[in-house]
Amino acid sequence: MSLLQLKGISRSFGSLRALEGVSLEMSEGELRAVIGPNGAGKTTLFNMVTGLFPPSAGEVRFDGHDVTGESAERRTRQGIVRTFQITEVFPDLTVFENLRIGVETAQRANALPWMSRTRRAAVERRVDELLSITGLASKSERVVSELAHGDQRVVEVAIALSLAPKLLMLDEPTAGMGDEETDNMVGLIRKLHDEQKLSILFIEHDMDVVFGIAQRITVLDQGRVLAEGTPDEVASDRRVRAAYLGEAA
């Protein structure tokens, strides 16, 4: 069954056509990369899916129903959770506190002015679980703004995970990272996909990462889908080589 379906999505900003008739279908449990040169519309595509702003035309379907007119907050509650190109965390709080916010939100507990001991313990157990999945356990009491860039990005992924997403969307998860940090993030994405059976859609510029882990790749160019397929299919596509990989090489 397809988890995410985009039908003829277009979006313009003034005279700039950021996306033109983009269609995309992603099935449950899939690990999909979106690639394309700068300005191809990758982040705009993400914004269409998460509902940051509405498309000028087209339809977004998620988990079997039309979410085109729904707010970003509602979509998040239905399981579309993203990270950002520029890391968005709660900088002055500890790693533990960052994840606790997410877990409490996932449990719809935000409005409670008081929490029972048992419920609090359940929240903390879930936070510990997330800390161990993401390998952050040893940094749990550290203030996030004092962590290395790579770790901050892992925290952001962990916050996203705390919401128990159906679709995890990562906007350039390895941007600005060194080799070791990149390997760590790649390992985490692979683990989330293999062990947690998560559906993941990610934008990435690092071709080693993309061709190393993606099951399918969508190539965007100037607001249109240029090609889509398995890494092998995409790598051998003539238009892709000409428009994109050729440039990069």
Partner 1 sequence: MNPRYLRLGVLWLLLLTVPWWLPYVGGYTQLGTRVLVYALAAMGLNLLLGFTGGLSFGHAAYYGLGAYGVGLTLKYLAPSTPLALVIGTLVGGVAATLLGPTLMRRRGVYFAMITLAFGQLFYFIVVRWNNVTGGEDGLTGFQRQPLHFGGYVLPLHDVTFYYLVLFCFAIATAVMGIILRSPLGHTWVAIRENRRRAQFLGIPVERYVWASFAVSGFVTALAGGLNAMLNNFTSPLDLYWVLSGDFVIIAVLGGMRSFWGPLLGAIIYLVAQDYLSSITDNWQSFIGVIFILVVLLFPRGMLGMLRAKARSA
Residues of this chain that interact with partner 1 (CB under 8 A) are 50, 72-74, 76-77, 81-82, 84, 88-93, 97, 100-102, 104-105, 109-115, 159, 163
Minimal distance, residue 27 CB to partner 1, in Å: 24
Minimal distance, residue 82 CB to partner 1, in Å: 6
Strand order in the sheet with 57-62: 16-27, 2-13, 57-62, 65-66
> What is the per-residue DSSP string for 62-93?
ETTEE-TTS-HHHHHHHTEEE--SS----TTS
Smaller CB separation from partner 1, 12 or 78: 78
Minimal distance, residue 98 CB to partner 1, in Å: 9
Minimal distance, residue 100 CB to partner 1, in Å: 6
Inter-CA distances, 148 with 22, 79, 91, 182, Å: 37, 28, 12, 13
Tokens representing 66 are 């039309």
How many Å apart are CA 217 and CA 232, to the nearest integer? Answer: 10
Smaller CB separation from partner 1, 200 or 226: 200
Q: What do you get for the CA distance between the two ends of the chain, in Å?
A: 37
Smaller CB separation from partner 1, 101 or 245: 101
Minimal distance, residue 92 CB to partner 1, in Å: 6
For residue 224, give the nearest of 49, 37, 28 by alpha carbon. Answer: 37
Smaller CB separation from partner 1, 186 or 198: 198
- Contact in structure between 170 and 83 (CB atoms under 8 Å): yes
Q: Where are the beta strands (DSSP E) in the chain?
A: 2-13, 16-27, 31-35, 57-62, 65-66, 80-82, 167-171, 199-203, 216-221, 224-229
- Contact in structure between 34 and 220 (CB atoms under 8 Å): yes
Smaller CB separation from partner 1, 30 or 104: 104
Residue 9: strand pairing partners:
22
Smaller CB separation from partner 1, 32 or 100: 100
